[in-house]
Structure 1
Amino acid sequence: MNYLSAENIAKSFGDKWLFRNISFGISRGDKVALIGTNGTGKTTFLNILTGKMPPDEGEVGFRKDIRIGYLDQSPAFDESLPVLEVIFSSNNPVAQVVKRYEHAIETDDHDELAEVMEDMDKYNAWDFEYRTKEVLGRLGIHHTDNAFGTLSGGQKKRVAMAKVLLEDPDLLILDEPTNHLDLDTVEWLENYLNTSNTTLLVVTHDRYFLDTVCNQVLELDHGSAYSYKGNYSYFLEKKAEREELEAAGIDKARNLMRKELDWIRRQPKARGTKAKYRVDAFEELKEKASQKKFDTKLELNVRTSRLGSKIIELEHVSKGFGERQLIDDFEYTFRKGDRIGIVGKNGMGKSTLLNMITGELSPDKGQIVKGETVQFGYYKQTDLAFNENQRVIDIVKDVAEVVQLGTGETVTVGKLLEAFLFSPSKQYDFISKLSGGEKRRLQLLLILIKQPNFLILDEPTNDLDIASLNVLEDFLMNFPGCLIIVSHDRYFLDRLVEHIFVFEGEGKISDFPGNYTELRDYQDEQESDKKTSSSVANKLPVNTAPAPVAEKVPAPVVPAANAPAKKKLSYKEQKEMEQLETDIAKMEERKAILVKKLNSGGTHDELASWSKEIEQLTDSQAEKEMRWLELSENA
């Protein structure tokens, strides 16, 4: 059953075609991901499909009897309405049926009741109250009497999502639904969409979400659309094959064009009309040969400032607002090369911790000691205030004309902008012409070229397309300084972090050794053990009578073969042991470097500094080796 069909859709802005001749359809049960780099027109395409914007060419058709739900990036409702009234507004057919049903019962109107019960069945509205409580609770919407206008941007997006999910449409269209959601909520939404019968069209950069939810991918690329039947992993495989074939075709066209160009130049003007078909073919060949080949091997490798041995020490830090304690007696000493992820529900104090580390907030108790060489690069969730009338390249040149890379070579800011997916023509666009994702990408680049050695990224993946994320991830993989990431993007965390601060609530923060998937595996293991223990405890017989006094007999000798094995290391202990091995190896390498420096000689201050660092490394290594031995004995 075909729900939506688009035929030869095209849209232009001025002389530039955003996309052209796009045709595709969505059938019942399809879960389609719409992807593409920032600026390719994904949101514009959704606006055309939903009727918010007319196409310049082509037409869009929907099946007449289906209901459509659309969640856009900036939902707009009456700011004065309470949250509950926004969710149950008059265009929610399910809510209206429930209201009619309750009214029929209250008035004892049997005719109305008989009629409305058919609609209750039609809209599957019998469990509406339960679903409402579940959806609101999962999305963190608890104060439903608050006016919609008093909410933050992220809260407004969650209210709009609750509304569209509760309407239970036949076709659900979502534009960046995972932005502003914490990880638990993203996983709940993923499961909700997987287990529902809803047909889905979604724009998202969450690669795990794409892989587990979607069964079809529609890619917007250079004004054209490419459809792939399969999940995101399948798409990556087939896209690589397509680009390889197209690159080969472009090379072939260029080689042929050289021959044809030579033929065109050698033909006398009078004979041109005799080979018009060949001249026309040459023009087509010229168009294909002038296409750009795909280049996904762009590198962003900016030099960082030197980071000393003393970085940041958090000593028994506490912070609260009013009666709410966000951080309670937290301590941590940052080491060189730390790559830390931070996870926890919204409102638990993640941004508060970051602001204290950077000195924007002071702790209520304890102290934060910062090393002299630390230079922060802090990417916040809030947008930078750009001058809309400035060009992209001019804004970057205000920071630096040239940039030194980690390799020591110097490049122009134009080359660096290209590495961050701003084409030469795009660099001279005014800021007002950039999409939201392009502005965020520019904001991130402005932070990186200041050469920070301690990088803090608060939700950096919001509004960034997948191509930008790949460039950013490649840069961060080689970033030599300290790194802290707050993100709801599980793939991003898995690839980049080595341990995680978990905000558990009531001020408690635990430090887990591993990435996000390993954390979830550990939590699932703990939950499973808890359920097993509870189940065993419930099955044990309860005997309140006093136990009889048994005669003492010698304990039987248990053969060694039947002796119970030592308890296995827990998942957390296994990860700790692996981390200790890595740390000890790094310390050995560092000590060897320092010893070599001492033997080579230096100034008095340098020799004293190196000797002190060797002493500190030796003490720290001894502690780690002692802990490793303890764990290895248990293993």
Structure 2
Amino acid sequence: MHYVTVEGISKSYGEKPLFRNVSFHIEEGDKIALVALNGTGKSTLLRILCGKETVDEGKVWIHKEVTVVMLEQQSAFNLQKSILANIFAQEHPILNAIRDYERLTDDDREPDPVQLAAAITKMDELGAWHFDAKVKQILGKLNIHHLDQEMGTLSGGQLKRVALAKVLIDIGFEHKHTLLIMDEPTNHLDVSMIEWLESFLNQENVTLLLVTHDRYFLDSVCNEIIELDQQQLFIYKGDYENYLEKKAAREESDKASVEKARNQYRKELEWMRRQPKARTTKAKSRIDAFYDVKEKASVRLERQQLELNVKMTRLGGKILELKKVYKAFGNLTILKGFDYTFKKGERIGVVGKNGVGKSTFLNMLLGQEEPDSGKINIGDTVVFGNYNQQGLVLKEDMRIIEFVKNIAEHFPLADGTKVSAAQFLQLFLFPPEKQYTYVSKLSGGEKRRLHLLSILFRNPNFLVLDEPTNDLDLPTLSILEDFLQDYQGCIIIVSHDRYFMDKLVDHLFVFEGKGEVRDFPGNYTQYREWEKEESRNASKQEAPAAATAASKETPAPEAPKGRKMSYKEKRELELLEQEIAKLETEKKTIDEQLASGALPYEQLEPLARRVGEVIQLLDEKGMRWLELSEMEG
């Protein structure tokens, strides 16, 4: 089914054109990534498709049966209302039934029996239990609990996760044909959440258009890339690597075309200068063609790459030492006797779930947070460059070039030469005409790029990078990676961008919780493979142990008495028993189909994939059933 047609659209803000004469199509089942520099119109294009922006020229056609749902970078919530009220804000019978049931059962207080009976009856009538289970899965995977909590009390990361949950829930209740548009969906998600989101989007029958800086996520979810570049749009089928290859080939072709146009332009310019004022029809035709050639010859093809041989401040023998460092906030233990001595040129990644203290750890290294006990000794020659999530802080608005010149007029290189502030800005994709823009007029991603530039311009020898990839576009990320790969100083990075970490770090500090930090010798992908292998080995060891225990006739020890089960948990236990029975029946049916040998090839793969999903669901629901059964007992 044909979802969207965009024909010849153009959009400008004042004198600044974002894109001109852009056309593309979206078909049902397409999963498309939109790539462009920050500030060149990605978010504007997404908002045009949602009807939140208008075009200057051209047409946008969306099939009347298609519903467009969008996750924006900044979602509008009623901050005085609860999480529950905001997630289920739209009117839909099933959503209303789930909202009423969740409101009654969200805590341990005994609900009104009449209201509860009415809510359960409504859920039964609408067949809403399946959707309720899906809602619980989404909220649980995104670590969203306490649904009665007021939105105004949430952090920025929590708000982003609630917005994502709302969008994912909405697409389950919308019309059959939904176009899901997502602007940086992986921001503020830890890696386990990102991996779950990849799986969710691949399983759902959804048509998708997204902007993301996470290249592993892009490759896992999308099968097409469209790029906004130089106000034009280019379409590439395939993965990110294919996009890079095809883009490089296109740029080489463009370069040859422009050189040819420039040669022709020089010849035509000489002819124009020789012409008398009275011109024949033939001459006028050639004059018109001259202006076309002039436009082609004037195309800018500069693709600045950051190839700076930096004159870095010298690092002495002593860099940074942590000795028996302890740190906790109430019951949250962050470090428990942590020891480490940094060496020259080290590149360390810091990973762990949200809330385990990664940012606090960085603040302690920088001297912005004191340990509870232990020592942190910083070498005399260390110059920190701190790129944090807070971003730029300006006392007053100023132009980009003024902001950089306030730091320094020139940037020293290792060969004794210098580059000016203006040249350095160009290397970070701020062309001369952009450098006199006020900082307040920049997009969110451009401000992040300027913040990064300002850190590097101070010439640090120890970089501390806290989520450096958030809101940066892919071209800027490529430049940053090239710079950091040649950087001679120490680097410590907190990031959920797996591609970025794999490319740059030598080993990891894995924050496992309760103050435990594992020093893992490898990059992030190697760590995940090791973690999965450890999990598989643990499962193999547990299985025989469980069988041995079951075979013994000694009575099982009495389970510790837990808290009283809530109405919601009792109902969940009943439903789990029904769901497990259905899943076991489905698994048996699929096993019989696969064993028959009569299925055509094209049916084997989806059935094999589904049986894997069913087994996983049986494991998850079985574990939850055991938890609830122990409470009941």
Calculate the TM-score normalised by the size of structure 1: 0.80
Q: What SS is found at the alignment partner of 1:167?
A: helix
Partner residue of 1:467 out of 443, 463, 475: 475
RMSD: 2.4
| Shift, 1:298, TM fit | 3.6
| Shift, 1:92, TM fit | 5.7
Higher mean alpha-carbon deviation, 494-503 vs 429-438, is at 429-438
CA change 1:312–1:282 in 2 (3 A) is same
- Residue of structure 1 in register with 2:504 after alignment: 496
| Shift, 1:410, TM fit | 0.8
In 2, Cα distance between the equivalents of 1:109 and 1:503?
42
Pair 1:306-2:314 in alignment: yes
- Residue of structure 1 in register with 2:341 after alignment: 333
- Residue of structure 1 in register with 2:391 after alignment: 383
Pair 1:133-2:141 in alignment: no
Partner residue of 2:427 out of 409, 419, 433: 419
In 1, Cα distance between the equivalents of 2:440 and 2:449?
14
| Shift, 1:533, TM fit | 2.1
- Residue of structure 2 in register with 1:573 after alignment: none
Pair 1:160-2:168 in alignment: no
Equivalences for 1:448-463 in 2 at 5 Å? Answer: 448-463=456-471
| Shift, 1:306, TM fit | 0.7
Partner residue of 1:297 out of 305, 308, 312: 305
Deviations 1:275-295 (A, max 9, x none): 111111111000001101242
The one-letter code matched in structure 1 to 2:55 is P
The one-letter code matched in structure 2 to 1:51 is G
Does the 8 A contact of 2:97 with 2:119 survive in 1?
Answer: no
| Shift, 1:105, TM fit | 10
| Shift, 1:322, TM fit | 1.7
Does the 8 A contact of 1:70 with 1:172 survive in 2?
Answer: yes
- Residue of structure 2 in register with 1:74 after alignment: 74
Equivalences for 1:72-111 in 2 at 5 Å? Answer: 72-91=72-91, 94-96=94-96, 98=98, 106=117
CA change 1:427–1:93 in 2 (3 A) is farther
CA change 1:154–1:301 in 2 (3 A) is farther
In 1, Cα distance between the equivalents of 2:549 and 2:455?
64
- Residue of structure 2 in register with 1:373 after alignment: 381
- Residue of structure 2 in register with 1:61 after alignment: 61
| Shift, 1:187, TM fit | 1.2
Does the 8 A contact of 1:316 with 1:365 survive in 2?
Answer: yes
Deviations 1:190-247 (A, max 9, x none): 1111121111110111111111110111111111111222222222222122111111
The one-letter code matched in structure 2 to 1:492 is F
Deviations 1:476-511 (A, max 9, x none): 111111100001111110010000000111111111
Deviations 1:105-126 (A, max 9, x none): 955999x999x64xx5xxxx54
Which runs of 5 or more residues in structure 1 are unaligned?
546-635
Calculate the TM-score normalised by the size of structure 2: 0.81
- Residue of structure 1 in register with 2:45 after alignment: 45
The one-letter code matched in structure 1 to 2:85 is E
Pair 1:180-2:188 in alignment: yes
- Residue of structure 1 in register with 2:587 after alignment: none
In 1, Cα distance between the equivalents of 2:5 and 2:495?
36
Partner residue of 2:484 out of 472, 476, 480: 476
In 2, Cα distance between the equivalents of 1:364 and 1:57?
62
- Residue of structure 2 in register with 1:269 after alignment: 277
In 2, Cα distance between the equivalents of 1:533 and 1:88?
44
In 1, Cα distance between the equivalents of 2:313 and 2:151?
45
| Shift, 1:543, TM fit | 7.7
Does the 8 A contact of 1:313 with 1:368 survive in 2?
Answer: yes
CA change 1:388–1:191 in 2 (3 A) is farther
The one-letter code matched in structure 1 to 2:77 is F
Pair 1:18-2:2 in alignment: no
Does the 8 A contact of 1:300 with 1:472 survive in 2?
Answer: no
| Shift, 1:296, TM fit | 5.0
In 1, Cα distance between the equivalents of 2:261 and 2:40?
26
| Shift, 1:379, TM fit | 0.7
- Residue of structure 1 in register with 2:416 after alignment: 408
Does the 8 A contact of 1:315 with 1:368 survive in 2?
Answer: yes
Q: Could you say which structure has the larger radius of gyration?
A: 1
Q: What SS is found at the alignment partner of 2:435?
A: helix
Q: What SS is found at the alignment partner of 1:390?
A: coil
- Residue of structure 1 in register with 2:33 after alignment: 33
Which ranges of 4 or more aligned residues in structure 1 deviate by more than 4 Å?
91-94, 97-110, 538-545
In 2, Cα distance between the equivalents of 1:477 and 1:151?
37
CA change 1:126–1:2 in 2 (3 A) is farther
In 1, Cα distance between the equivalents of 2:382 and 2:353?
29
In 1, Cα distance between the equivalents of 2:360 and 2:158?
18
CA change 1:130–1:416 in 2 (3 A) is same
| Shift, 1:416, TM fit | 0.6
Pair 1:352-2:360 in alignment: yes
Deviations 1:58-100 (A, max 9, x none): 2323222233321100111111111121111134665136569
Q: What SS is found at the alignment partner of 2:66?
A: coil
Deviations 1:7-63 (A, max 9, x none): 222211112221121222211111111110011111111111111122222232322
Which runs of 5 or more residues in structure 2 are unaligned?
103-113, 554-633
CA change 1:133–1:542 in 2 (3 A) is closer
CA change 1:277–1:532 in 2 (3 A) is same
Deviations 1:537-587 (A, max 9, x none): 445698879xxxxxxxxxxxxxxxxxxxxxxxxxxxxxxxxxxxxxxxxxx
| Shift, 1:346, TM fit | 0.9
In 1, Cα distance between the equivalents of 2:149 and 2:359?
24
In 1, Cα distance between the equivalents of 2:71 and 2:313?
43
The one-letter code matched in structure 1 to 2:363 is N
In 1, Cα distance between the equivalents of 2:75 and 2:520?
37
Q: What SS is found at the alignment partner of 2:29?
A: coil
Partner residue of 1:148 out of 138, 151, 166: 151
In 1, Cα distance between the equivalents of 2:533 and 2:68?
40
CA change 1:37–1:543 in 2 (3 A) is closer
Q: What SS is found at the alignment partner of 1:425?
A: helix
Pair 1:524-2:532 in alignment: yes
Q: What SS is found at the alignment partner of 1:172?
A: strand
- Residue of structure 1 in register with 2:8 after alignment: 8
Does the 8 A contact of 2:34 with 2:209 survive in 1?
Answer: yes
Does the 8 A contact of 1:328 with 1:507 survive in 2?
Answer: yes
Pair 1:235-2:243 in alignment: yes
Q: What SS is found at the alignment partner of 1:270?
A: coil
Deviations 1:434-471 (A, max 9, x none): 11111111111111111111110000101111111111
In 2, Cα distance between the equivalents of 1:163 and 1:301?
47
Pair 1:247-2:250 in alignment: no
In 1, Cα distance between the equivalents of 2:76 and 2:549?
59
Q: What SS is found at the alignment partner of 1:500?
A: strand
Higher mean alpha-carbon deviation, 266-275 vs 63-72, is at 266-275
Higher mean alpha-carbon deviation, 407-416 vs 468-477, is at 407-416
In 1, Cα distance between the equivalents of 2:487 and 2:55?
44
Pair 1:439-2:447 in alignment: yes
Q: What SS is found at the alignment partner of 1:67?
A: strand
Equivalences for 1:497-576 in 2 at 5 Å? Answer: 497-538=505-546
How many positions carry a matched residue from both structures? 537
